Amino acid sequence: MCGIAGRICAPPGRVGHDLVELMQAQRHRGSDSTGFGLYGIPRDTGYVVRAVAAERSRLSTLLDSFLEATRAHGADFSADPTWDELSQKHVSVRAEITEPSDSVEAWLADADHIDGFEIQSVGRSLEIVKDLGDAYAVADKHGVRDFIGTHGIANARMATESFVSPTASHPFWARPYPDIAIVHNGQLTNYFLLTDKLVRKGYDFKTQNDSEVIAIWLSDQMAAGRTLVESLELSKTALDGCFTYILATPDTLGFAKDKFAIKPLVVVEEESGSVAIGTEEQAVRKVYRDEIDVINYDGPLISATWAVPQAVPA
Amino acid sequence: MSDRVEIIAGERPIREINREIRAAVAEGEPVVVRDTLSRHNLGIGLAEGADIRFEGSVGYYCGGLNNGGTVHVTRNAGWGTGEAMAKGHITVDGYAGMSVGASMRGGIIHVKGDAGPRCGVAMKGGDIVVEGTVGFLTGFMAHTGRIIAVGGAGEACGDSLWGGEVWVGGPIHSLGVDSKVIEPEADEVADVERLLASLGIDGSHDWKKIVSAQRLWHFESRDASAWLMI
């Protein structure tokens, strides 16, 4: 099943808080893991990195390896990395780095291949926080409610295609493209073929999850010159299965849906530009409590986009 | 102003709300439920004589397993409204989401707005009347029963029908797999018009009756391409 959500705050605001409420209301759709892709106020230079270290006991060694790989590309920590202080085996790490002197791709070719240290997102503004448990559990652990930003996406996962772990959950970052992520409700049946083609082109996949391919496939289309809208359009038939997914970039949220039209999407659009998206209307009512006009994107083969009002860089 | 028993839904547990509804019904009292917050599973398994009005929008499965109650939703309803109902009468003033009347066996569902995809999926009896248009795959695999779409029908109308009927008073976007339009008999039209008149709807339309073309009732290899479309 799975539940998904999206939120645009105009002006920038409590996007973390709102997404937590949208997701907690949909926890019955799957709460083995919950994840948030949050867009803060974008920086001019450098990146924020979210990662998971598989073993707490090895954290300092893994961070040293990551720093070494980063320094090899002319970048460095721009602030001390932070991590959760809980007793779980895995550790969620947040780091900020300066601009690599060559390219993000070259840096990731080294920094994203450290055994036991998996990068979950890289962005000027995107931060992906995903972990085991329902929305409140993940929010309590990672302080998601305090996140102020422009927009974001979220997912409550009921695993069908791969195992339950923080890294195999949503959102999926479009590795190696900064600031692009997706959340997905459904199952893809041709992901193996699509993944295989993209691997041959040099893309790097970290999980066996069917959804991971969506973000990378879309980014590959856009890198080849297609617009975001064209890529969404093409995905409706290029992806096979039943799906409704939300794509997030720094300036847009977009969604697309397959020909079977079985995965719902409910949207509230405000004149201000604020948008709330959920799989179920009752989730959207957590943000808009009063009776409000909702758009039900119920038909087959449909897509839409919403512009994110641009924030002034910090 | 209201002589109905008032129940405030809000954030309370659904079981508690449904218990209160059933208690009022047992006393023979009509009920109004407010602050519905588009929540799921409201008014499930209502007994004969129940009279419930939901002020606002409701979520999934409202009036499901209805066994003779009267339900009125004053705004929109979510997925599976009136699913598997045996008898009774459900009215939705606004939009009825996906799969309205799924697997219903009897009674009437009256939607004043539009209905979403798979309206009347696998229905086994009763009537669904939609004043607006019905969505994608309406009547999908309906065994028996009647879906009446006054305003028109979306894509793949009547897809894989078994013995059910879809009546359309407006334009049909496209027919589904193994469905065909046939000329209705005069007494059948009169029956549809009578039903609509009882709901206060003008039934004088150029009715198109969609039924199964019966090619999928038994598998034959020459029909493989039709099967592959499913």
pLDDT of amino acid A266: 97
CB contact under 8 A, B37 and A300: no
Task: From B49, B45, B51, B47, select the one nearest B7 (Cα to Cα).
Answer: B51
Q: For the domain A45-123, what is the CATH code?
A: 3.30.70.600
Contact list, B37 vs chain A (CB under 8 Å): 282, 285, 289
Min Cα separation A237/chain B (Å): 15
Contact list, B135 vs chain A (CB under 8 Å): 298-299
In B137-169, which positions are buried (b, 16+ CB within 10 angstroms) versus exposed (e)?
bbbbbbeebbbbbbbbbbbbbbbbbbebbbbbb
pLDDT for A204-260, tens place per residue?
999 989 999 999 999 999 999 999 999 999 999 999 999 999 999 999 999 999 999
Residue of A nearest to B77 (CA): A281
Task: From B192, B185, B187, B188, select the one nearest B169 (Cα to Cα).
Answer: B192
pLDDT of amino acid A159: 81
* CB nearest B117 (choices: A261, A281, A294): A261
Query: What is the CATH architecture assignment of B5-228?
Result: 3 Solenoid (2.160)
What are B120's two structure tokens? 């009347």
CB contact under 8 A, A296 and B37: no
pLDDT of amino acid A31: 85
Stretches in chain A below the pLDDT threshold 50 = none
Contact list, A282 vs chain B (CB under 8 Å): 37-40, 59, 78
Chain B (75-134) residues lying within 8 Å, Cβ to Cβ, of chain A: 75-76, 78-79, 95, 97-98, 116-117
Query: What is the CATH architecture assignment of A3-44+126-307?
Result: 4-Layer Sandwich (3.60)
What residue spans define the domains of chain B? 5-228
Min Cα separation B100/chain A (Å): 13
N- to C-terminal Cα separation, chain A = 38
* CB nearest B59 (choices: A261, A282, A296): A282
Chain B (142-161) residues lying within 8 Å, Cβ to Cβ, of chain A: 154-155
CB contact under 8 A, A261 and B38: no
pLDDT of amino acid A167: 86
pLDDT of amino acid B229: 61
CB contact under 8 A, B38 and A300: no
Q: Which of A24, A236, A263, A282 to mutate to test the interface with B (most CBs of B within 10 A)?
A: A282
A285 CB within 8 Å of a chain B CB: yes
Residue with tokens 């339009």: B181
Q: From first to last of the 230 residues of chain B, give the pLDDT tens digit.
A: 569 999 999 999 999 999 999 999 999 999 999 999 999 999 999 999 999 999 999 999 999 999 999 999 999 999 999 999 999 999 999 999 999 999 999 999 999 999 999 999 999 999 999 999 999 999 999 999 999 999 999 999 999 999 999 999 999 999 999 999 999 999 999 999 999 999 999 999 999 999 999 988 887 777 777 666 65
What does the alpha-carbon distance between residue B93 and residue B128 come to, in Å, rounded to a whole number? 14
Question: Between vectors from CA B226 to CA B223 and to CA B229, what angle results, nearest 5°?
Answer: 150
CB contact under 8 A, A261 and B37: no
What does the alpha-carbon distance between residue A77 and residue A148 come to, in Å, rounded to a whole number? 22
| C-alpha torsion angle, residues B156, B158, B162, B166 (rounded to 10) | 180
Q: Which of A236, A281, A287, A289 to mutate to test the interface with B (most CBs of B within 10 A)?
A: A281
What residue spans define the domains of chain A? 3-44+126-307, 45-123
Q: Are A108 and A173 in contact (CB under 8 A)?
A: no
Residue of B nearest to A296 (CA): B97
CB contact under 8 A, A261 and B136: yes
Min Cα separation A169/chain B (Å): 26
**What is the count of residue pairs from A and B with beta carbons less than 8 Å apart?**
49
